Amino acid sequence: MITPVLLIDDDARLCDLLTTYLSGHGFAVTIAGNAKDGMRSLRNQDFDIVLLDIMLPDGDGLEVCKKIRADSSIPVLMLTARGADEDKIIGLELGADDYLAKPFNPRELVARIKAVLRRKGSTGRWSGDLKAIEHENFYLNPENQKVIVRGKEIDLTSAEFKLLKVLASNPGRVFTRERLMDLVQGRDFDGIDRSIDVHISRLRNKIEEDPRNPHWIKTVWGTGYRFLI
Assign residue 196 the CATH number of its domain. 1.10.10.10
Asked if residue 153 and residue 84 are part of one domain, the reply reads no
Q: Which of 68, 65, 43, 44 is nearest to 54 (CA)?
A: 65
Asked if residue 169 and residue 99 are part of one domain, the reply reads no
Asked if residue 105 and residue 43 are part of one domain, the reply reads yes
Query: In this predicted model, what pLDDT tens digit does every residue of 183-214 receive, in sequence order?
Result: 776 544 555 456 888 899 999 999 999 999 99
Cα–Cα distance for residue pair 121/87, rounded to 1 Å: 26
Asked if residue 143 and residue 82 are part of one domain, the reply reads no
DSSP track, 198-227: HHHHHHHHHH-SSTTS-SSEEEETTTEEEE
Residue 29, SS3? strand
Residue 87, SS3? helix
Asked if residue 110 and residue 7 are part of one domain, the reply reads yes
Asked if residue 183 and residue 82 are part of one domain, the reply reads no
Amino acid in the structure at residue 189: F
Q: Tell me the average pLDDT across 219-229.
A: 89
Q: Residues of the chain with pLDDT > 90: what percent?
A: 40
Residue ranges of E strands in the chain: 3-8, 27-32, 49-53, 55-56, 59-60, 76-80, 98-101, 133-135, 138-141, 146-149, 152-154, 175-176, 217-220, 224-227
172 is a domain residue = yes
Asked if residue 156 and residue 217 are part of one domain, the reply reads yes
Q: Of 76, 99, 120, which one is at a domain's C-terminal end?
A: 120
Asked if residue 159 and residue 50 are part of one domain, the reply reads no
CB of 129 within 8 A of CB of 146? no
Asked if residue 146 and residue 56 are part of one domain, the reply reads no
Range with the poorest average pLDDT among 44-53, 70-79, 145-154: 70-79
Number of domains in the chain: 2
Sheet containing 217-220: order of strands: 175-176, 224-227, 217-220
126 is a domain residue = no
Query: In this predicted model, what pLDDT tens digit does every residue of 104-120 receive, in sequence order?
Result: 999 999 999 998 888 76
Q: What is the pLDDT of residue 149?
A: 94
In this prediction the pTM is 0.55
Cα–Cα distance for residue pair 19/201, rounded to 1 Å: 48
**Domain residue limits at 72:** 3-120
Q: What is the pLDDT of residue 189?
A: 53
| 206: number of Cβ within 10 Å | 16
Cα–Cα distance for residue pair 7/215, rounded to 1 Å: 41
pLDDT greater than 60 at residue 125: no
Cα–Cα distance for residue pair 131/140, rounded to 1 Å: 9
Higher pLDDT, 205 or 102: 205
Asked if residue 95 and residue 31 are part of one domain, the reply reads yes
Cα–Cα distance for residue pair 126/124, rounded to 1 Å: 7
pLDDT greater than 80 at residue 58: yes
Q: What is the CATH number of the domain that holds 35?
A: 3.40.50.2300
CB of 179 within 8 A of CB of 224? yes
Query: In this predicted model, what pLDDT tens digit does every residue of 9-54 receive, in sequence order?
Result: 999 999 999 999 999 999 999 999 999 999 988 887 878 899 999 8
